[in-house]
């Protein structure tokens, strides 16, 4: 799978806005648009075969998520990851994910668990193939499926308002081989607790899983470039 080639394909007109947001977000996640870098709007318009207006609307969405910084008269740039932001948001996300796990175990159906298991097994295959972008997509889909299985729209709304601010950090946290291996092991624990419908255990594992990512990102930010 050639992720960069996929990102460079023309945008289908029927889903223009969502496709633009998703592709720009993915380019930031994988580092094709690097932190602190000015976003080349003209080049992206040519690459995606779109006008400036939909591109700028997509950038506004990413700015609201904390991935892009909009500066008057200077355009858009990729927001830098700051330790202060991560220290503030990660513990909240960990608490929300833990709560979603506890609630999900009370109401999740067998077919929903089976679907999550399928995603998990495919995620492991992507890990074995060292396909980080697809691994990360499936990883986040699993977290999202557990969140939605909790059946609490208020919880989802609060989560969504914060998750964008740390999504890139969660991607970076899986970059080292040792951390990536550990993340897969943690996801095996998540699946086991979910299949046992052990809400207390799943909540604890999810909280620890998220906070371990914070420790990894904290370490990577402290390392010299």
The predicted pLDDT at position 127 comes to 96
Say yes or no: 128 and 181 in one domain. Answer: yes
The last residue of a domain, from among 48, 78, 108 = 78
Domain count, the chain: 2
Say yes or no: 46 and 103 in one domain. Answer: no
> For residue 76, what are the β-bridge partners?
70
CATH number at residue 30: 1.10.10.10
Say yes or no: 159 and 122 in one domain. Answer: yes
Lookup: tokens for 17: 């806005």
Lookup: tokens for 81: 């990851």
The predicted pLDDT at position 144 comes to 95
Say yes or no: 120 and 207 in one domain. Answer: yes
Q: What share of the chain is helix, strand, coil (3-state, %, to 5)?
A: 75, 5, 20
Lookup: tokens for 42: 């003209």
Three-class SS of residue 68?
A: strand
What's 176's DSSP letter?
S
Say yes or no: 96 and 172 in one domain. Answer: yes
The last residue of a domain, from among 78, 102, 131 = 78
Residue 68 structural domain: 3-78
Say yes or no: 88 and 176 in one domain. Answer: yes
> ∠204-120-66 over CA atoms, to 5°?
70
pLDDT in tens, the chain (225 residues): 444 455 566 654 557 888 898 889 888 877 788 878 899 999 999 999 999 999 999 999 988 877 899 998 888 999 887 888 889 999 999 999 999 999 999 999 999 999 999 999 999 999 999 998 899 889 999 999 999 999 999 999 999 888 877 777 777 665 678 888 999 999 999 999 999 999 999 999 999 999 998 888 887 766 655
What residue has token string 């972008």? Answer: 133
Say yes or no: 97 and 70 in one domain. Answer: no
Say yes or no: 73 and 164 in one domain. Answer: no
Q: What is the pTM of this model?
A: 0.75
Lookup: tokens for 174: 């899986």
The predicted pLDDT at position 141 comes to 94
Which class for 24: exposed (0-12), middle (13-18), buried (19 or more C-beta within 10 A)? buried
Helix spans in 108-198 (H): 110-128, 132-149, 153-172, 177-195
The last residue of a domain, from among 35, 57, 78 = 78
CATH number at residue 166: 1.20.120.530
């Amino acid at each position: 799978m050639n992720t960069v080639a996929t990102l460079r394909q023309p945008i289908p007109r029927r889903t223009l806005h969502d496709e633009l947001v998703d592709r720009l977000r993915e380019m930031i996640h994988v580092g094709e648009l690097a932190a602190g870098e000015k976003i080349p709007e003209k080049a992206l318009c040519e690459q995606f075969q779109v006008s400036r207006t939909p591109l700028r609307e997509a950038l506004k969405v990413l700015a609201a998520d904390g991935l892009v910084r909009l500066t008057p008269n200077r355009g858009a740039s990729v927001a830098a990851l700051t330790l202060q932001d991560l220290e503030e948001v990660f513990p909240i996300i960990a608490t929300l994910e833990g709560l979603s796990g506890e609630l999900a175990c009370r109401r999740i159906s067998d077919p929903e668990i089976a679907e999550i298991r399928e995603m998990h097994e495919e995620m492991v295959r992507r890990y074995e193939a060292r396909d980080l972008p697809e691994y990360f997509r499936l990883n986040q889909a699993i977290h999202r499926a557990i969140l939605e299985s909790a059946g609490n729209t208020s919880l989802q709304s609060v989560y969504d308002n914060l998750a964008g601010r740390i999504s890139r950090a969660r991607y970076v946290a899986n970059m080292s081989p040792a951390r990536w291996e550990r993340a897969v092991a943690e996801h095996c624990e998540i699946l086991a607790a979910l299949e046992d419908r052990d809400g207390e255990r799943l909540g604890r594992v999810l909280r620890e899983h998220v906070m371990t990512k914070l420790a990894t990102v904290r370490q990577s930010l402290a390392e010299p470039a």
